Structure 1
Amino acid sequence: MTKPLMIFAAGLGTRMRPLTDLKPKPLIEVAGIALLDRALMLGHDAGAQPIVVNTHYLGAQIQTHLDGQDIAISDEAGELLDTGGGLRKALPLLGDGPVMTLNPDVVWTGANPLAGLIAAWDGDRMDALLAVVPLDRATARKGGGDFSVDAAGRISRQGDFVYAGAQIIRPDRLSDIPGRAFSLNRLWDLMIAEGRAHAMIHTGGWCDVGSPDAIPLAEAMLLHG
C-alpha cells in the first residue's frame, strides 16, 4: 500500500542559526547528507507516491536542489502557513485520502518510520497515527514530552512520549479549520477528543536536529546505530 507524502521544508530555521543565515535548514548536512535528502530516502524506501515538499525561506535553493527529481513543490513564498495550513494548501498535489507527513529536521536509525506507519495504519480505528519516541530516548530533545499512550495505542496530551515528526493523517477536516496559517495540533486535538488519534512507538534511534549543537549528536547516533 502506497501513500502520498508531504515533507515540511518551509520553516525559518531560526534555532539553527547561524548555519541557516544563507541556507535553508533542510539543506543542512548531517554526516555528509542533507536533511531533506535523508527524508526523501525514507519516502522513496517506503514507496511514497506522490511526494510533495513545501518551501518558504530561501525556497529557491530547495527548488534548485530538487531539480530533475519527481518531487512536487508547494510554494509558500508569499505566506508561511505552518503545518496545518501548509498541508491544506498542498492537498491538490497529494490527492485524496490519508497522507503521510514528515519533518526533515530529525535523524532516525532502525526501521523506516514511514514503512512502519503504513504497516500499522488501521483506517477503521484511526484518523491519525503518529510516530513517537520515549522522552528518555529522544536525543537532543529540548523540553518535555508531548503525549501519553494508552493500552490501545490511543494518545492523549501530556506524557513521556515525544512526537517524532512522522505520521499518517486524514486531511479531510482541514477545510473546517478557520484561518490560513495554523498548526496540525488543532486537527490532532479534534481526533484525540474522539479517540481516533493513535501512536506507533519507534524502537530505533531518533535525534532532533533543531540546533547546531545537535548535529554531532546525530552523527554519533548514526555511527553507532
Structure 2
Amino acid sequence: MPAPHALMLFAAGFGTRMGALTATCPKPLVRVAGRPLIDHALDQTAGVNLQRVVANVHYLPDMMRDHLAKRPDIAIADESAEILETGGGLRAALPLLGPEPVFTLNTDAVWTGANALSQLAAVWRPEDMDALLLLLPAAQASGYSGAGDFLLAPDGRIRRAQGAAGWAYLGAQIVKTDRLAEIPERVFSLNRLWDLAIAEGRAFGVVHQGGWCDVGRPEGIAEAEALLAHA
C-alpha cells in the first residue's frame, strides 16, 4: 500500500495558553516569522502527493475559512457547534478524508530540516503499523515541557514514557482510522487510538531529521523564529 493521499490539519483549538494573542485570532493564524502558523504547517505538504486535505475549525471559524479560501483544495470540517478534540475531530472528518490511512498534522508548531510528511511516508509499512509518529528526543524539542511522551525501541515500536526520559511527539503522523469506530465517546483524544495500537505492538516512531518548536505559548514565537533563522 502506498503512503496516504489524505491529510487532516488540526486547526480547531482555542489556543488559551497564548493569552491575549488569541483573544481575537485563532491560534493557527498567529504569526511566526511574518506568516501564520498554519502556513508553516502547510509547508510540510510540499512534494507530497495529497489528493485530499481537510482542516477542522471551531474557534473563530470565519477567520479560518477566510484564510483558507485561498486554498480551494482544502476542505473544511466544521466543528462550530462542538469541538471534538483530535480523535473525535478526525472521525467526524472521515467522510471528507476517505477510509484509508491518513496523515495528520498539528498547526501550532514549526519544523526545520527534512520534510515531516515525507519522512513518515518513507518508512510507512501498513502491514506492520497502525500508527507512525514523528519524534525527537524531548531535550531537543524546543518549547516542549516534560520528560517525553514515548519510549522508542530499537525496532521502532513505541510505548508510553510514563515519566521516563523519552521522545516528544512532534504533531505529525500517519494513522489508520478504522478503529475509531470502536471508541464510544463523541469527544476524545487520539491518545485513545494510540493506546490500542501500542497494546498490539503496532505503534511506531520515526526520528525527525531536523528541528521543531512548539508554539503553544507566547514565548514560543521567539523560540520558533530563532529556530527558523538558523535553519
The alignment's TM-score, normalised by the length of structure 1, stands at: 0.97
Q: Deviations over 1:90-146 (max 9, x none)?
A: 000001210000001011100001011011100111000000110111101122200
User: Which runs of 5 or more residues in structure 1 are unaligned?
Assistant: none
Task: Note if contact 2:4-2:102 (Cα within 8 Å) is conserved in structure 1.
Answer: no
Structure 2 contact 138–146 (Cα < 8 Å) conserved: no
**1:122 maps to amino acid:** R
Task: Report if aligned partners of 2:4, 2:101 keep a CA contact under 8 Å in 1.
Answer: no
Q: Distance in 2 between matches of 1:47 and 1:132?
A: 22
**Counterpart in 1 of 2:220?**
214
Matched, 1:95 2:71: no
* Number of residue pairs aligned between Structure 1 and Structure 2: 225
Question: Which whole-Å CA distance do the structure 2 matches of 1:87 and 1:50 have between them?
Answer: 14
In the alignment, which of 198, 206, 216 is matched to residue 204 of structure 2? 198
In the alignment, is residue 119 of structure 1 matched against residue 125 of structure 2? no
Is 1:167 the counterpart of 2:170? The answer is no
Task: Tell me the alpha carbon deviations over residues 6-51 of structure 1, each in whole angstroms, 9 at most, x when there is no partner.
Answer: 0000001000111000000000111011111111221243232210
Verify the 8 A CA contact 1:2 1:49 in the aligned structure 2.
no
Partner of 1:27 in structure 2? 29
TM-score (norm 2): 0.95
CA contact 1:131–1:201 (8 Å) conserved in 2: yes
* Code of the aligned partner of 1:111: A
- The corresponding residue for 1:136 is 139
The answer to whether the 8 Å contact 1:88/1:171 transfers is yes
State how far apart, in whole Å, the 1-side matches of 2:102 and 2:43 are: 17
Contact 2:4 2:103 in 1 (8 A): no
Q: For 1:3 and 1:164, how far apart are their aligned partners in 2?
A: 20
CA RMSD of superposed structures (Å): 1.0
| Secondary structure in 2 matching 1:63 | helix
Aligned match of 1:18: 20
C-alpha contact (below 8 Å) 2:135/2:205 kept by paired residues: yes
| Aligned-pair CA distance for 1:68 | 3.7
